[in-house]
Structure 1
Amino acid sequence: MADERVKRRLAAIFVADVVGYTRHMEQDEAGTLSRLKARRRDVLDPLLLRHEGRLVKILGDGILAEFASAASAVRCAVELQRDMAAANEGLPETRQYVLRIGISLGDVIVEGKDLYGNGVNLAVRLESHGNAGDITISSNVFDQVCREVVAEYDDLGPVSMKNFAKSVHAYRVRPCPQQPPGADGGQSTPLSLPPRPSIAVLPFNTMGANAEHGAFADGLTEDLITELSRTPGLFVIAQHSAFAYKGKPVDVRQIATELGVRYLLEGSARRSAERVRVNVQLVDTLGGGYLWAERYDREIEDIFAVQDDVAARIVEALVGRLIVPPMRIRPKSMEAYDLCVRARSLGWNSAGSPEAIYESIVLLQQAIAIDPSYAEAYGWLAFNLWSTWANAMDATGDNRRLSLEMARKAVALDANDAQSRWILGYLLAYEGRWSESDAAFDAAIAMDRNSADALIFRAELLAFAGRASEAMDVMEQAFRLNPHPTASYYWEQSLVYYVAGQYEKAIETVRRGPAYRTGARRILAASLAQAGNLNEARQEAALFMANNPNFSIGKWAESQPFRDPETRQLFVEGYRKAGLPE
Structure 2
Amino acid sequence: MKRRLAAILAADIVDYSRIVGTDEAAALAALRLFRAEVLGPTVAGHRGKIIKSMGDGWLVEFSSAVEAVNCAIQTQERVSDNNLITLRIGVHIGDITHEEDDIFGDGVNVAARLEAWAEPGGIAISDSVYLSLDGTLTPSFDDEGDQELKNIARPIRIWTKAATTVERKVQNRQLRANGYSQLSISPVATSDERMDVQELAEGLTGDLDDKLTAVRWLTVAVREKPNPQDYFMKIVLRTRDDRLRLEVRLFEPMGRQIWSNKYDGNLSESFDWQDTTGEAVSLEVISKLLDAESDRLARIPPQDRTAEECLVEGFMQIRMGDARSFGDSLSSYTLAIEKDPELADAYGEAIWTTYAGMTVGFDSVEPFYKKQFQDWVARGRRLVGQSTILSVAIALADFQSNRDATPLRNAIAGALRRNPTDANVLSISAWSAIWCGETAIALDCFRKFERFGKFHPYSVPVRGGSALAALQMGNDKLAISVAQEGLKLSSTYPTFHAVLASAYALSKQSDKAAAALAMYRELVPDRTISSWKAMNDYGGSEGGKRYFEGLRMAGLPE
Q: Which has the higher helix share?
A: 2
Shorter-chain TM band? 0.3 to 0.5
Q: Taking structure 2 as the reference length, what is the TM-score of the superposition?
A: 0.48
- TM-score, length basis structure 1: 0.46
